[in-house]
């Protein structure tokens, strides 16, 4: 199996090409990234005072969806912690908020007891206060998995087959395929229809070019063992951290399966 980086990690996005791989393998990585890689998120909120226009439940929901930077080395999943999920400094973190001035309440107003865990996007709006209103609360953040709730999912991950596009013969250059292709795979150059090499890997196999070509000169297929994998982190972890953790989780699942298989076969 070979990996070729297409777009290096930038703005929490990364894409790479995986060669000599199976669809079952790459789909397993996709699912683990979205559902199994842990991330930190607010789970419980204790309101001390809330006289804003929003109900406690609405504010608690907003707090839960604020992405928090995650330190996987310092925190454990509650079910794997030595406290057995009762709550300790190794598996949970307290954040406080106390605003009495009128204006917007931002994610940056949350005060974390651990500087390594804080809102990824400081300008996310939690609520708005007018004169005389107060919002005071204490929130508890814990590690969790995306399969339990999407607030713990660290990234969007998806893949597609590597496309194979070819022009079988010369055409009348009507330009319909050029107009209809959303990714600009084709272009007219000196009166000839040619492939735009810079955009080839952007092809999504939508078949719009074939559907709109009146002369049937375009051929589109894909490579069955080559895939383009895209990952977009919400900011809790870097794309590289997420993929590394997903790989470790995958290996542990395989080891666990083999161990249980050995026990069952005895």
Ordered domains of the chain (ranges, CATH)? 2-35+156-231 (3.30.1360.10), 39-152 (2.170.120.12)
Q: How far is CA 146 from the centre of its chain?
A: 10
Give dist(CA 103, CA 123) in Å, integer.
Answer: 13
- Residue 203 corresponds to which tokens in the numbers above? 């092809």
Q: What is the pTM of this model?
A: 0.87
Give dist(CA 203, CA 185) in Å, integer.
Answer: 7
Mean pLDDT by 10 residues, the chain (266 residues): 90 93 94 97 97 96 97 93 90 96 97 95 97 97 96 96 87 82 86 82 88 85 93 96 96 92 87
Residues 6+ apart with CB under 8 A from 241: 72
């Amino acid at each position: 199996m070979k990996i070729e980086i297409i777009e290096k990690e930038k703005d929490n996005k990364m894409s790479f090409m995986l060669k000599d791989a199976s669809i079952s393998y790459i789909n397993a990585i996709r699912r683990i990234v979205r559902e199994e890689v842990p991330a930190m998120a607010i789970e419980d909120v204790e309101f001390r005072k809330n006289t804003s226009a929003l109900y406690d439940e609405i504010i608690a929901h907003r707090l839960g969806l604020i992405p928090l930077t995650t330190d996987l080395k310092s925190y454990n999943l509650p079910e794997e912690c030595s406290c057995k999920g009762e709550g300790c400094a190794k598996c949970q973190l307290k954040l406080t908020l106390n605003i009495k001035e009128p204006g917007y309440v931002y994610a940056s107003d949350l005060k974390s007891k651990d500087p390594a865990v804080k809102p990824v996007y400081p300008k996310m709006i939690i609520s708005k206060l007018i004169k005389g209103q107060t919002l005071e609360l204490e929130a508890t953040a814990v590690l969790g998995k995306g399969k339990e709730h999407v607030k713990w999912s660290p990234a969007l991950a998806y893949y597609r087959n590597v496309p194979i596009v070819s022009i079988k013969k010369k055409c009348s250059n009507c330009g319909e395929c050029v107009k209809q292709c959303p990714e600009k795979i084709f272009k007219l150059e000196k009166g000839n229809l040619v492939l735009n090499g810079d955009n080839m890997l952007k092809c999504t196999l939508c078949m719009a070019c074939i559907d709109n070509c009146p002369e049937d000169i375009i051929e589109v297929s894909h490579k069955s063992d080559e895939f383009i994998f895209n990952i977009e982190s919400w900011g809790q972890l870097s794309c590289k951290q997420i993929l590394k953790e997903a790989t470790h989780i995958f290996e542990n699942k395989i080891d666990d399966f083999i161990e249980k298989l050995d026990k069952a076969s005895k």
